[in-house]
Amino acid sequence: MNKLAIMGAMEEEIEPLLEYFDDIKVTEYADNKYYEVNLDGLEVVIAYSKIGKVFASLTASTMIEKFGCDTLLFSGVAGAVNSELKIGDLVIADKLCQHDLDIVAFGHPYGYVPGGKVFVDTSKEIREVAKKVALENDIKVLEGTIATGDQFVNSVERKDFILDTFKADALEMEGASVAVICDALNVPCFILRAISDSADHSADFDFDEFLKSSAKISADYVIKIAKALQNK
């Protein structure tokens, strides 16, 4: 690993990451900001993509192609699909899918288009390092499937569909698209999510109430992972 990318989707998801650094170089590119920092000698680029698969794909591609990052870590929040997950729990994606990708009318399964695949794997090597870090720091993590789609799910029916179709543990709006980019460009990636809600609340649920605390939990862990990867 020569240069590390750390991504979030929202500004709130990278704010706790940036708090680790004093000397930050800001580069504006493609209607976004990229924060270049040094973590104990390792070059790191931090950015939030904005919400959704298109912006996440653009940001991941930029970090790899323009800034030369050869490893990517994603830190953020997600809704729980697995009923055992509680607010603040951490989920590591071993694979991801796009729950809103639908050309079943042409005889294909949900989440699939020709030339693609339903599930995209993340880096097993990084996951093993992350699990070791979790064990050493008494951090509880679940390794499982994360579903991505361009919708904030707060309906029981939609949540049940995602659970039944993809056997997902958590859902969010960026991870699978980042995994697709990294897979295509042969860049090891790692997707970490802290649970911020149970994805089936009514519209009056206060998502913001849990966003900052969950993002902080996720960010602290991802910094520990970055340091462990550097010291391998």
DSSP code for 108: P
Q: Would you place residue 197 in the very low, low, confident or very high pLDDT band (cuts 50, 70, 90)?
A: confident
pTM over 0.85: yes
Per-position b or e across 104-132, b if 16+ CB within 10 A of its CB: eeeeeebbbeeeeebbbebbeebbebbee
- Cα within 13 Å of Cα(191), Cβ side: 34
The predicted-structure confidence for 39-68, as pLDDT tens digits, reads as follows 999 999 999 999 999 999 999 999 999 999
Are the CB atoms for 68 and 27 separated by under 8 Å?
no
pLDDT of residue 201 exceeding 60, the answer is no
Domain that holds residue 195: 3-230
CATH of the domain at 75: 3.40.50.1580
How many domains does the chain divide into?
A: 1
**Which pLDDT value is given to residue 199?**
62
Query: Amino acid identity, residue 52?
Result: G
Mean pLDDT for the stretch of residues 179-197: 95
The predicted-structure confidence for 121-168, as pLDDT tens digits, reads as follows 999 999 999 999 999 999 999 999 999 999 998 888 999 999 999 999
Q: Which residues are known to be catalytic?
A: 13, 197
